[in-house]
A = this chain, B = another copy of it.
Amino acid sequence: MIGELKRFLVGRPIETAAQHDQRLSKRIALAVFSSDALSSVAYASEAILVVLITAGAGSLPLVIEISLGIALLLLIVGFSYRQTIYAYPSGGGAYIVAHENLGQIPGLIAAASLLIDYVLTVAVSVSAGVFAITSLAATWGYGGLATYRVEIALACITLITIINLRGVKESGLIFSVPTYVFVVSMIALLGVGLMRIVTTNAAPIPVAPSELPIPTATIGLFLLLQAFSAGCTALTSVEAISNGVPAFRRPESKNAATTLLWMVGILGVMFLGLSVLAHYYGTVPREDVSVVSQIARQVVGTGPAFFVIQVSTALILVLAANTSYADFPRLASLLSRDRFLPRQFSSRGDRLVFSNGIVALGVFAALLVIVFDAREQAMLPLYAIGVFISFTLSQYGMVRHWLRLRESGWRTSAIINAIGAVLTAVVFIVIIITRFSHGAWAVLVLIPILVLLFRAIHQHYVTVARQLSLEKTARVVPVQRNTAIVLVSGVHRGVIPALEFAKSIATDNTMAVYVNLDDEQTEKVRVKWSQWGSGVPLIVLESPYRSLIGPIMRYIDQVDQLYDDDVLSVILPEFIPSKWWQHLLHNQTALAIKAALLFRKGIVVISVPYHLAS
């Protein structure tokens, strides 16, 4: 039944041979790799305003200057990553670049940051997408929808998880349409909005005092940096293209580099434009409707155009979440291949996708959504930390790369990456200082824990491999003698095949063991045994505390000491009900005994089933 449900949800299995490389044109690659980065405009300007508003309406115009600074940072980071694309045509994720150039620990730190980020991407994007939809609903008078935002977000995550478990073959088209609809509608929104400002020569609309919360902070360096840090979430996923170079058509690096610059350009324009509009239209962050939806409403009203903007925003955010569903399982499988994560993450499921990574991502993202009540602005302080750690490590790794290889033009490249590394490191520190108490501390605690975990797992696998190695094995010793203990819970049909099997493998060395929990019952068993025991001696163990496991384990120890040259088998007659729920109706003692024997060295455990009709 579970199998059928899985087939219905996930689809039929796909042959290994069907694995193939799909090469993407620049136009489609831009959609596939940029949806995550571009979608951040849905919340980045709002994040700046959320900080500024704490110092009152007077500080809101600063959004322009801060956005300009972030756009500049974006440009520098973009050029820095352009270097990585040329240097790592086979895909240069932060984990690979840092691991290769800086060593294991930096590599693992980058990996931990990235894994955290991918989970946050899903949680933040889905929450922001739901906010876009509830803003639309609230504008049209259905404010009540917002109370279901956690449920809607969880439903979205479940849906995306299932789609990814099926495997996304048709990704190109699915990505292109919403991404380009989003880009076009945003650019149109900006164009119309800015034109209206220019033509009416309007001064910024002052914020109505009734909409303002009471100021709790004053304008100062700290607040500015805090707002800057908040806006830096616009830079998330800029590195996506450099991870995916092999997916581009030839010449891969050149195409990828061009696409990266296009993406940076579009992202910068949209982000800056929205900040400018937010300023001129006197937008204030609100609980019920998003900043983008407020701007859109003022520019295009609440008609069909508004609908298109809100829905395409929601769609691109869902696509952004979907990007993580490719990145997280791939990174997890890389880590798993290098033995830093459990093996399960590197095995492809029957739909050829890394199913375990996909499910893990879905579960963690769902937990985040629940914890943060699907409010993406509350998650943002956690978000940027990981991004900038991986930026810094990756850029610094590139500097080391150039210094090591000294290919032609290495000086320029090293300088570009060094500027990128220093800048992102500074921003990283700024983010820590300004956002520490808003949740950034949690990421700083989590990353070292993950790194320690990776290393513990690695250590374990290395130890196991050494112990399983046959290289120094002494000669193989054949089994000299078998000893068999049959555990019986009574004398019934289920015991007979177990007894016969025991006699067939340990003819003169078989004994049956029964634990006395009730004297009367035991006497009955003794009598029946004389008739049905086939000559096998019945050992009755006393159990003053009504425990089964204790006396059995002690007896096994005794028997084990009898011979040195034998293998001791414990045989469990198990009757198997025909329906799964009937298992609940039988004492789970066989299971408990097996679990206890598992940790007892040198015991072979044998289950002889007796199948019951319904």
Give A contacts to B, CB under 8 Å. Answer: 13-17, 342-344, 347-350, 457, 460-461, 463-464, 467-470, 473, 476-479, 482, 491-494, 496-497, 500-501, 503-505, 517, 528, 532, 534, 544-547, 567, 569, 575-577, 582, 584-588, 598-599, 601-614
Contact = CB atoms under 8 A, between A and B. Distances in A.
Nearest to A582: B460
Given A468-B494, A468-B575, 4 more contacts: A464-B577, A479-B501, A482-B504, A605-B606
Given A587-B344, A587-B347, A609-B603, A16 B479 contact: no
A493 B468 contact: yes
Contacts of A575: 464, 468
A419 to B, nearest CB: 42
A166 to B, nearest CB: 15
Contact of A609 (B457, B482, B491, B602): B602
A487 to B, nearest CB: 15
B598 A576 contact: yes
B609 A607 contact: no
Given A482-B505, A500-B479, A602-B609, A350 B546 contact: yes
A395 to B, nearest CB: 33
Nearest to A464: B612
- Copies of this chain present in the complex amount to 2
Given A500-B478, A586-B343, A611-B601, A546 B469 contact: no
A117 to B, nearest CB: 24
A283 to B, nearest CB: 37
A476 B496 contact: yes
B350 A545 contact: yes
Contacts of A598: 576, 607, 609
Contacts of A344: 587-588
B14 A545 contact: yes
B348 A528 contact: no
B470 A528 contact: yes
Contacts of A534: 476
Contacts of A494: 468
28 contacts: A16-B517, A342-B584, A342-B586, A343-B587, A344-B588, A347-B546, A347-B587, A348-B546, A460-B582, A463-B613, A463-B614, A470-B492, A470-B493, A470-B496, A478-B504, A482-B504, A501-B567, A504-B567, A598-B607, A601-B609, A602-B609, A602-B611, A603-B609, A605-B606, A605-B607, A605-B609, A606-B606, A606-B607
Contact of A478 (B342, B348, B463, B503): B503
Nearest to A339: B585
Interface centre among A343, A478, A491, A604 (most CB of B within 10 A): A604
A470 B491 contact: yes
A473 B492 CA distance: 10
Contact of A463 (B473, B586, B612): B612
A467 to B, nearest CB: 5
B608 A604 contact: yes
